Amino acid sequence: MQNFISWLGQSSVAQAIQISGWMFPTIESVHVIAISLVVGVIAIMDLRLLGLTSGTRAVTAVSRDTLPWVWAAFVLAVISGALMFVSNAETYYNNRAFLIKMGLMVLAGINMLVFELITFRSVAQWDRDVSLPAPAKIAAALSLSLWIGVVVFGRLIGFTLDFFSGGASQYLTTLR
Amino acid sequence: MLTFAEWIAQTAISQWLQVQGWWFVPAVQSIHILAIAVVLSSLLMLNTRLLGLSGSGLSIPQVAHRYLPWLWWGLPILAVTGTLLIVAEPVRSLWNVAFWIKMALLLVALVLTLRFQGYARMDPGFWENAANKTRIRGYAVLSLLVWLGIVFGGRWIGYVNA
């Protein structure tokens, strides 16, 4: 694994991003847009599941409106995120904030799978209810919390990387 | 502007943020990004409805009623957290062309959104009128592009040094 990571870090893609002044900030801007849309549009669905918004609209209708955008934005976030990772693979790989962020995303994925494969099967019985069964509400609360965590730890990566070490980073060494 | 930025940097609150408040900037930036998530997603749902790509079965005023309040609540949160970030790093943010491009684009975005809202309130028939179709779609694309430009500008503040 370590070999693969250092090979990535020395690949021609990594070198191109490192040498270029504009590529990293551009990729990062795309990543911010993509992750904002992933989190924000997922929140629209989560708030419906919690019974807080869109109460007059069926759960399946809100899901139809939001899911395609979530997936499109997620693909963009993965591509831009992967490029950022490759550009400094070893540093990210050894960064605790990055690893926590990845862990939170895995948990969010498991939460979504459980919801889709188990809870959502009985959607026909509660599609138009405002207050939904507990498993749906729990899945929504978990999803909101985990994605907020993804944003927080994502932002922390920038404060804990050696190549961006500013004044704050010395205090955040526990995450490095 | 540089003198003004340097004056802010000397104030007690800015000094505290730069020394003891090391956790403050990442915390406020996280809230700033979450507010951007709220604003961008509301605009995405609104503008994709205008383009006929989402919200089938809902009228445009209904979609506007659903998402515009989130936009208008998100913006003051962005303004407050954004101001705090300027106070924490005044010279880096104010003496910065990316910051001013971002502010100019924000002004354009606000004018566009207020105009849109005016139409949505005044005349429900405006949206049904086929003659307005091109205008509405053009507005939606322009609005999305300007907001994406604002995020780009914001992220580039961290990289531009003049």
Say how far apart CA A111 and CA A144 lie, in whole Å.
Answer: 11
Q: How many domains does chain B have?
A: 1
Is residue B71 one of the residues assigned to a domain?
yes
- Are A40 and B42 inside 8 Å of each other by CB? yes
Under 8 Å between Cβ of B148 and B59:
no
Is residue B91 one of the residues assigned to a domain?
yes
Say how far apart CA B21 and CA B14 lie, in whole Å.
Answer: 9
- Are A32 and B25 inside 8 Å of each other by CB? no
A54: which chain B residues are within 8 Å (Cβ-Cβ)?
66
A151: which chain B residues are within 8 Å (Cβ-Cβ)?
30, 33-34, 37
Is residue B3 one of the residues assigned to a domain?
yes
pLDDT at A166 over 90: no
Domain extents for chain A? 1-167
Q: Could you say which of A25, A37, A39 has the minimum Cβ distance to residue B155?
A: A25
* Phi-psi group of A11: left, alpha or beta (phi > 0 → left; psi -120 to 50 → alpha; rest → beta): beta
Q: How many CB pairs under 8 A join A and B?
A: 89
Say how far apart CA A50 and CA A38 lie, in whole Å.
Answer: 18
Say how far apart CA A48 and CA A45 lie, in whole Å.
Answer: 5
Say how far apart CA B50 and CA B139 lie, in whole Å.
Answer: 9
- Are A168 and B158 inside 8 Å of each other by CB? no
Is residue B162 one of the residues assigned to a domain?
no
Is residue B51 helix, strand or coil? coil
Of A13-17, A146-150, B142-146, the one with minimum mean pLDDT is A13-17
- Quote the DSSP letter at residue B161: -
CA geometry: angle A102, B78, B76, nearest 5 deg = 140
B37: which chain A residues are within 8 Å (Cβ-Cβ)?
35-37, 39-40, 43, 151
Global ipTM: 0.91
* Residue range B74-120, pLDDT digits in tens: 999 999 999 999 998 888 889 899 999 999 999 999 999 998 888 77
* Residue range B53-73, pLDDT digits in tens: 998 889 888 999 999 999 999
Say how far apart CA B136 and CA B128 lie, in whole Å.
Answer: 10
- Are A69 and B54 inside 8 Å of each other by CB? yes
Of A75-79, A82-86, B9-13, the one with minimum mean pLDDT is B9-13
Q: Does B33 touch chain A (CB under 8 A)?
A: yes
Tokens of A164: 């961006």
Write out the residue range of the structural domain in which residue B67 sits.
1-157
Say how far apart CA A3 and CA A6 lie, in whole Å.
Answer: 5
A171 band by pLDDT with thresholds 50, 70 and 90: very low
Q: Which of A149, A164, A168, A158 is nearest to A105 (CA)?
A: A149
Q: Does B30 touch chain A (CB under 8 A)?
A: yes
Average pLDDT, stretch A117-144? 95
- The distance of A65 to chain B (nearest Cα, Å) reads 5
- The distance of B4 to chain A (nearest Cα, Å) reads 22
Average pLDDT, stretch A73-93? 95
* Phi-psi group of B143: left, alpha or beta (phi > 0 → left; psi -120 to 50 → alpha; rest → beta): alpha
Under 8 Å between Cβ of B22 and B28:
no
Distances (CA, A) of A8 to A1, A86, B117: 11, 6, 49
Is residue B114 one of the residues assigned to a domain?
yes
Is residue B30 one of the residues assigned to a domain?
yes
Under 8 Å between Cβ of A16 and A23:
yes
Say how far apart CA A168 and CA B18 lie, in whole Å.
Answer: 8
CB-facing half-sphere around the CA of B24: CA atoms within 13 A: 20
Q: What one-character-per-residue DSSP string does B22-63 give?
A: TTHHHHHHHHHHHHHHHHHHHHHHHHHHHTTSS-TTS-HHHH
